[in-house]
Chains A and B, each alone.
Chain A
Amino acid sequence: DTEVTQTPKHLVMGMTNKKSLKCEQHMGHRAMYWYKQKAKKPPELMFVYSYEKLSINESVPSRFSPECPNSSLLNLHLHALQPEDSALYLCASSLDGTSGYNEQFFGPGTRLTVL
């Protein structure tokens, strides 16, 4: 299994809602990532988990809360988002989070719209 899966594919939420994005991989990878991608822009790194510990937080607002329950799962909890947070949210995984040369495998993304 060489896939990273993400659910849901699409999500529409109001600014007062709480929702979660889910990411899963079964490749035995020990690093997982959340990226945000706006239209016609490259992905921007948000968080990195390495061996289930948060290793990088790119100064992301606290309305985004990541969670790594185990080595295969990564969640992104959303609360009180703003319309400008509407974007494609991509999850990725790699063999580890320290080598630099391990390629990252990306999921198909969740298209989030905040009304």
Chain B
Amino acid sequence: AQSVTQPDIHITVSEGASLELRCNYSYGATPYLFWYVQSPGQGLQLLLKYFSGDTLVQGIKGFEAEFKRSQSSFNLRKPSVHWSDAAEYFCAVGARAAGNKLTFGGGTRVLVKP
């Protein structure tokens, strides 16, 4: 069965500074990987996804993520954080064998200091 770990529960970053959120997954085959963002009381919005090909993936809102098979990681990065980036971020892995079931990590809450 697949699993996802997000080691950081909270991250505080200053506005304008860079941000990196860690994600480690466990899955036997090639994973389908996603990053979602959730603002308080809202639904989830897809930031980016990885299925195959180029291991550096560009997403919306200036985010990018890099797939590293050797490290079973899919870390999310943003070069310069804006106050509006304060939210909860979820990494997720999908598996065809599981009928498109998404397994989410525990989430990382990002706080942005002015």
Contact = CB atoms under 8 A, between A and B. Distances in A.
Tell whether A and B belong to one assembly.
Answer: yes
Interface of A: 4, 6, 31, 40-43, 45, 48, 50, 55-56, 88, 90, 92, 94, 96-109, 111
A48 B100 contact: yes
B69 to A, nearest CB: 16
Interface of B: 32, 34, 36, 41-46, 49, 51, 90, 94-102, 104-107, 109
A4 B51 CA distance: 23
20 contacts: A6-B43, A31-B100, A40-B107, A40-B109, A41-B106, A41-B107, A42-B90, A42-B104, A42-B105, A45-B101, A56-B99, A94-B100, A97-B99, A100-B97, A100-B100, A105-B46, A106-B43, A106-B44, A108-B42, A111-B41
A97 to B, nearest CB: 5
A109 B40 CA distance: 11
B44 A100 contact: no
Given A45-B101, A45-B102, A90 B96 contact: no
A101 B46 contact: no
A104 B102 contact: yes
Nearest to A100: B96
A48 B32 contact: no
Given A45-B101, A100-B96, A101-B94, 16 more contacts: A4-B43, A6-B43, A31-B100, A42-B90, A43-B90, A45-B102, A92-B44, A94-B100, A96-B100, A97-B100, A98-B96, A100-B32, A100-B98, A101-B49, A108-B43, A109-B41
B101 A103 contact: no
A13 B51 CA distance: 42
A88 B41 contact: yes
A108 B98 CA distance: 25
List 7 tightest A-B contacts by C-beta distance, closest first: A100-B96, A42-B104, A106-B43, A106-B44, A101-B32, A108-B43, A101-B51
Given A41-B106, A42-B105, A42-B107, A99 B43 contact: no
